[in-house]
Amino acid sequence: MNKKSALGKGLGALIPEKSQENKDSINTISINLIKPNNEQPRKNFDEEKIRCLAQSIKEHGIIQPLVLKKEGSLYTIVAGERRWRAAKLAGIKKIPAVVMDLDDKSVLEISLIENIQRQDLNCIEEAQAYKNLIQEFEITQDTLSIRIGKSRAAIANCMRLLALDKRVQQYLIDGVITEGHGRALLALKENELQYKLSQTIIDENLSVRETEQIIKNIHKEKKNKNNIKDNEILPYYKDIKSKLESLFDTKVNLQNNKNKGKIEIEYYSEDDLQRILDILKL
């Protein structure tokens, strides 16, 4: 089975055929023998939701078995970490699970798809998961788009959030600013500016539209400052300008750019022009 072309069709399509042979074989595994997957895309869990799930498990049990991978004497969670955490909280000793023989790439792939399908990842976790899949499978965003059933633009926009300042990314993870705020902040290239504005967003409860307007104002102010700077004449050039004006007895303009510039000598009549040419001995 070509697992690389199976993404986007549900977890069953991701599981290699060998593992599918034992798909209906549900085992009861001691919860103490189960460990979370360190490569799990999801890093943050809503404790309140875990408590609610734990209460549901106490009343109704675990309806959907976990998917596990055996590693030595222990089992690594491929899908179902929320259920495992809730079961531990509920004091459950043994839980139903399907044990499958999966390689590391399949584990990562299945974990990502399960979380995306359940909308369990925050935008930074999702972006990092996309990045991991692209690097691990050496595929393009276009290929990933087909495999997980999301548009390439959605994947690209999500991954761009990883360019944000790490402190801003943490705000997104914590949910104190929205993904829309994050996308707006990408227009600021300086990390410190991103961070300071993100703090303002939190402190003043700014909307995305208000944030975008502030960023427009920042760019406008920068442009005005640059124009002023370009028009400023350094003392060295001021001295040259003064000497030239004394020499030609007329107004002289110096325009200086990075590696080039120009001198403009004003004249007001043909006789005035000839006078300047005589000074230049032309």
Catalytic residues: 81
Q: Are 146 and 6 in contact (CB under 8 A)?
A: no
Q: Give dist(CA 73, CA 65) in Å, integer.
A: 20
List Cβ neighbours of 107 (8 Å cut-off, separation of 6 or more): 37, 39, 69, 76, 78
Determine the Cα–Cα distance for residues 128 and 261; give it in Å rounded to an integer: 48
Torsion 38-67-75-93 (CA) sign: positive
Secondary structure of 51-116 in the HEC alphabet?
HHHHHHHHHHCCCCCEEEEEECCEEEEEECHHHHHHHHHCCCCEEEEEECCCCHHHHHHHHHHHHH
CA 33 to chain centre: 35
Q: Please give the full DSSP string across 237-281, using - where no structure is assigned.
A: HHHHHHHHHHHHTS-EEEEE-SS-EEEEE---SHHHHHHHHHHTT
Q: What are the DSSP calls for 163-180, one per residue?
A: GS-HHHHHHHHHTSS-HH
CA distance 278 to 282: 6
The residue behind tokens 């792939």 is 109
